[in-house]
Amino acid sequence: MKKHTILIVDDTPIILDVLHEVLKDDYNVKAAPDGETALKVIREFKPDLVLLDVQLPDIDGYTVYKEIKNEPQLSCIPVILLTGNKDAAKEAEGLDLGKIDYITKPAIPEVVLAKIKAHLG
């Protein structure tokens, strides 16, 4: 059976490393350190799911999300937003965009795996 491809987008190398370790046995994992790189990877590889940090050094995760959802060939890709912000107003902003899920950092590996599995079936 073909492994699903997950793109992790985060500007913190340790988070990329930890999530890669959590996912590598069950998924093909790609990584991007910023929004522009993420959009290039998404357009080229069309991953099955994106774990997307909200706070990125160039364009924020909400803007990346909007770009993904505005492109018909990418709009069906599920996106889970990663955030270190526990602000309810920011979470509501993400919900208003129609995003599918949030994971609060530091991410608990079992939660990450369970949410990914729920979205990919």
* Complete domains list, the chain, with CATH: 5-120 (3.40.50.2300)
At residue 27, the pLDDT reads: 97
At residue 86, the pLDDT reads: 64
d(CA 33, CA 11): 4
Q: What is the DSSP string of 27-96?
A: SEEEEESSHHHHHHHHHHH--SEEEEES--SSS-HHHHHHHHHHSTTTTTS-EEEEES---HHHHHHHHH
d(CA 41, CA 38): 5
SS3 at position 8: strand
pLDDT along the chain (121 residues), means of 10: 94 96 97 98 97 94 93 95 71 60 88 94 79
At residue 47, the pLDDT reads: 98
At residue 95, the pLDDT reads: 59
**pTM assigned to the model:** 0.90
